[in-house]
């Protein structure tokens, strides 16, 4: 991964969403191989239970900015200290179906054991980049959303874990920006809006 490409990226912003949030996409090196760090959300949570996500959450009044939000949330959710995170820059904002704008920051972090907040996080998972960019582990579908119309859903299957949804969209841009991988132009299938998700 060439994380300097994140530093040189001119990200787009979403400025008209009802609420702001930020996430941290942590990258670490384990046994000479780059990994991306995710949290698996606790099953009892009301929103997105059991899904893979980046540490993050809503902006709070005390946050100096959205980068502070991402770092604060990473500390609360996985025990990452802000001084451990080397922030390279950010990806494009994304808009969620719940009217949030989410700003993803990319940071290099140390390879160590992290301490998940069990109220929110079931597991902290580092997935190797070579497996994330293996096309045998990737699929996508096009479906109709009742509010936002036709959109593409990306799925990254690595071992027992699947990254998809908003996190999958962010991961696509991170990988396309920092590696030679690109999402295939054609989707694997076109499905109805009410079709079951491939997870």
Q: Say what the pLDDT of residue 87 is.
A: 97
Q: Say what the pLDDT of residue 198 is.
A: 60
Q: Taking the mean position of all CA atoms in its chain, how far away is CA 184?
A: 19
Sequential pLDDT tens for the chain (199 residues): 999 999 999 999 998 988 999 999 999 999 999 999 999 977 655 555 568 999 999 999 999 999 999 999 999 999 999 999 999 999 999 988 788 899 999 999 999 999 998 888 889 999 999 999 999 999 999 987 666 677 889 999 999 999 998 999 999 999 999 999 999 999 988 886 666 666 6
User: What predicted TM-score, i.e. pTM, was given to this entire model?
Assistant: 0.91
Burial of 152 (0-12, 13-18, 19+ CB in 10 A): middle
Q: Say what the pLDDT of residue 92 is.
A: 97
Alpha helices in the chain (DSSP H): 4-7, 66-78, 129-132, 165-178
Return the SS3 of 135.
helix
Residue partners of 74: CB distance under 8 A and separation at least 6 = 24, 26, 55, 56, 80, 82, 85
Q: Which residue in this structure is represented by tokens 């000479």?
A: 32
Q: Decide: 150 and 142 in contact? Cβ < 8 Å.
A: yes
Alpha carbons 41 and 116: distance in angstroms, whole number: 10
CB atoms within 10 A of CB 123: 14
Measured on CA atoms in the order 179, 162, 111, 134, is the torsion positive or negative?
Answer: negative
Return the SS3 of 147.
coil
Closest to 37 measured CA to CA, from 95, 116, 103: 116
């Amino acid at each position: 991964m060439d994380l300097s490409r994140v530093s040189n990226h001119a990200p787009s912003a979403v400025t008209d969403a009802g609420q702001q949030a930020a996430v941290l996409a942590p990258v670490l090196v384990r046994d000479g191989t780059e990994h991306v760090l995710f949290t698996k959300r606790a099953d009892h949570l009301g929103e997105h239970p059991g899904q893979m996500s980046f540490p993050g959450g809503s902006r709070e009044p005390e946050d100096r900015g959205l980068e502070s939000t991402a770092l604060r949330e990473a500390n609360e959710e996985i025990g990452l200290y802000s001084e451990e995170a080397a922030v390279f820059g950010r990806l494009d904002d994304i808009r969620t179906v719940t009217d949030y704008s989410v700003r993803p920051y990319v940071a290099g972090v140390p390879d160590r054991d992290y301490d998940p907040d069990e109220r929110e996080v079931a597991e902290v998972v580092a997935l190797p980049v070579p497996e994330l960019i293996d096309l045998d582990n990737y699929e996508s579908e096009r479906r109709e959303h009742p509010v936002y119309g036709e959109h593409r859903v990306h799925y990254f299957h690595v071992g027992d874990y699947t990254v998809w949804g908003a996190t999958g969209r962010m991961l696509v841009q991170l990988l396309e920006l920092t590696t030679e991988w690109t999402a295939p132009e054609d989707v694997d299938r076109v499905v109805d809006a009410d079709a079951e998700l491939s997870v």
